[in-house]
Amino acid sequence: MRAAVSRGVGQIVIEELPDPRPRAGEVRVRLVSSGICHTDVSVLAGHLPSPRPIVLGHEGAGIVDEVGPGVDHFAVGDHVICSIITSCHSCFQCQRGEYVLCERAVGFSGTMLDGTTRLESAGEDVHTLFCQGSFAEYAVVPASAAVRIRPDAPLEKLAGLGCAWSTGLGAAIVRAEVRPGSSVVVIGAGGVGLATMMGARAMGATSVIAVDLAEHKLARAEELGLATHTLSVSGEDAVAAIRELTGGRGADYGFDAVGARGTLETALQGIRPGGLAVAIGVMDAAVTATSDLFAFLMQKQLTGTYAGSIIPQRDIPAFVDLYMDGRLPLDSIIDATYALDDVPKALDQLAANEITKGVVLL
């Protein structure tokens, strides 16, 4: 099969690799599309450590074409979204239903759940990002990370549900449970931020304030009908503007979809007493945030979410149903499509902020 392989920091080329085969508890997916996520850019650039060689891509959508031993709930022909949530379903956290916190998660190891790889090149192990490596014609994934969706849903449009969109939707719908009629501020109008706004709107938020320094991203949030107000300022200026838009009080909810220095502070300072701030993203593991304690005496709440805190098998099919019903127009977020050969260019364009959400059609 053909796959986009990175053999060093900043380096990625399309190569021919032997087709992978599923082992026990796994399925092989013939990929139809793959979303392109900022994490792919960060791994390529070496900002997130990962072994090489590695096939990048972790938002796969496709059709099951081989079922490994011991997998009885998938059949050849099933349509699936490949989630980044690769939970074991047996550890302490999984037994409590906290699948996104699975203690056996593979992280950036580039291996499958058993610590081995499914791809090789001239006798050398080739890793896959988040048990997927979806910039390829095939991906072998743990059956626990494959989520069956209805067959009439367009696989070429919904790959983003594997990571970025589920993270944004889940932050608003699952983690924060945004209440109807509420006001929401979202820091960051990229792929995750737009999905957060869409989730908040679907829950009935009537005021959505998008904050970003890139004017074209704010314009898009407005065009898509997601943001009711946009602010191209940061820090104290952003907090003052948010208060002005919310009766001097602050928003009910504040989401930080950026995770840069100062952005979580803006979300926390931008919410009202008793409001909820949610950390969704982090740009760099070294970023820290501080707050005065008075904010918490005023009963502000601060939490975070990993991957939208979703239960993939429960929530992704629900998001797909809402999409099919026209209530989550996720494909409107896509602003570029690519062939597999164009993956290096696509990653460059995402790194340069030229696109919001790209999709590779396989």
CA 29/CA 60 separation, integer angstroms = 9
Segment near Zn ion (CB under 5 A), from 79-87, 169-177, 217-225, 292-300?
A: 79-87
The least CB distance from residue 306 to Zn ion, in Å, is: 11
Q: Which of 14, 91, 260, 361 binds Zn ion (CB under 5 A)?
A: 91
Pairing verdict, β 229-231 and 207-211: parallel
Piece of the chain touching Zn ion by CB under 5 A; list 87-95, 241-249, 275-283, 330-338: 87-95
* Strand 207-211 versus strand 183-187 pairing type: parallel
Contact between 6 and 54 (Cβ < 8 Å): yes
Q: Binding marks (x or -) toward Zn ion, 104..133, rule CB under 5 A? A: x-----------------------------
DSSP state of 175: I
**Based on CB atoms, which residue is closest to Zn ion, 268 or 333?**
333
Which residues make beta-bridge pairs with 185? 209, 254
- Report the residue from 67, 88, 174, 333 that binds Zn ion according to the rule CB under 5 A: 88
Q: Does 39 bind Zn ion (CB under 5 A)?
A: yes
Quote the least distance from Cβ 195 to Zn ion, whole Å.
11
Identity of the residue, 163 or 360, whose beta carbon is nearer to Zn ion in the bound complex: 163
Query: Which residues inside 299-358 make contact with Zn ion, applying CB under 5 A?
Result: none
324-352: buried (b, 16+ CB within 10 Å) or exposed (e) per residue? eeeebebebbbebebebebbbebbebbee
Sequential DSSP letters for 83-107: -S----SSSHHHHTT-GGG-TT--T
Least distance (Å) between residue 283 CB and Zn ion: 13
| Position 102 contacts Zn ion (CB under 5 A) | yes
Rounded least distance, CB 288 to Zn ion, Å: 23
Q: Which is nearer to Zn ion, 166 or 228 (CB)?
A: 166
Closest distance between Zn ion and the C-beta of residue 142, in Å?
11
Element (H, E) at 246: none
Task: Supply the minimum distance, in Å, between the C-beta of residue 164 and Zn ion.
Answer: 5
Which CB atom, from 61 or from 241, has the smaller least distance to Zn ion? 61
Distance of alpha carbon 189 from its chain centroid, rounded? Answer: 14
Q: How far is the CB of 160 from Zn ion (least distance, A)?
A: 9
Chain centroid to Cα 211, Å, comes to 19
State phi, psi for 187 to the nearest 5 degrees: -90, 120
Give residues 237-266 in contact with Zn ion (rule: CB under 5 A).
Answer: none
208: three-class secondary structure by DSSP? strand
Question: Binding to Zn ion by residue 37, rule CB under 5 A?
Answer: yes
Element (H, E) at 119: strand 119-121
Sign of torsion, CA 319 135 123 8? Answer: negative
Residue 169 near Zn ion by CB under 5 A: no
Does the footprint of Zn ion cover residue 163 (CB under 5 A)? yes
How many residues touch Zn ion under the rule CB under 5 A: the total is: 9
Query: For binding to Zn ion (CB under 5 A), which residues are involved?
Result: 37, 39, 87-88, 91, 94, 102, 104, 163
